[in-house]
A = this chain, B = another copy of it.
Amino acid sequence: MSKVAIVYHSGYGHTKKLAEAVHAGVASAADTSVDLIAIDAEGNITEAQWALLDAADAIIMGSPTYMGSVSWQFKKFADATSKPWFSQKWKDKIGAGFTNSATMNGDKLSTLHYLFTLGMQHSMVWVGTGLMPANSKAAQRNDINFVGSFSGLMAQSPSDSSPEEGPLPGDLDTAKLFGKRVAETAARFNK
């Protein structure tokens, strides 16, 4: 049985919806339990949630991309991880990251590079999407990995879409496959 924790911040609900799709993907993997942890509007999580992170075999981190990187609430969480960092408590956990923003690119890779950098400071072992992009002339917006990311999951929700409207179905399907991949990687690493 391997344990996966998803910790994310969502400002308007789009990243929450994405996190739920990642959650569904993790839950679809064999012999895996999963916890979904929302960072609150002040950038905090509870002591019980910190304990879940400490106990996890894999931690998937998610944030919207705001002004070119993670939201400040996610960063406040990240700064607070200096405590487990100091004793390298998260060493050798599987790490992964996801993000959503309104623009097709919109510096989403900057966010994923940051999540990776944070994971490396914690001596995590990083896993990406493992998905080829849909990039031929016949490609459709709702194809798997149309947004086209490797280092982690990227989703896009138009600036005036509600969380019901965005992220689009293809991005949510991509999120499920990504969640499943992280879970399977954790299972393999911890068997």
Residues in chain A within 8 A of chain B (CB atoms)? 43, 66-73, 75-76, 78-79, 81-82, 85, 88, 91-92, 102-110, 113-114, 116-118, 120-121, 123, 125-130, 132-133, 135-137, 139, 146-151, 154, 156, 158-161, 165, 185, 188-189, 191
- Chain B residues near A106 (CB-CB < 8 A): 133, 135, 148
| Contact among B78, B92, B114, B135 with A104 in the assembled complex (CB-CB below 8 Å) | B135
Chain A facing B: main interface SS: loop
How far, in Å, is A46 (CB) from chain B's closest CB?
18
| Contact among B76, B107, B120 with A72 in the assembled complex (CB-CB below 8 Å) | B76
Count the copies.
4
- Chain B residues near A78 (CB-CB < 8 A): 66-69, 72
Cβ A102 vs Cβ B135 within 8 A: yes
- CA A177 – CA B136 in complex, angstroms? 26
Known A104-B147, A132-B88: A137·B160 in contact at CB below 8 Å: yes
- CA A72 – CA B72 in complex, angstroms? 5
Known A161-B137, A188-B189, A189-B188: A72·B67 in contact at CB below 8 Å: no
How far, in Å, is A99 (CB) from chain B's closest CB?
11
- CA A88 – CA B106 in complex, angstroms? 15
Complex A-B, nearest 6 residue pairs according to Cβ-Cβ distance, in ascending order:
A103-B148, A72-B76, A68-B117, A109-B109, A72-B75, A120-B150
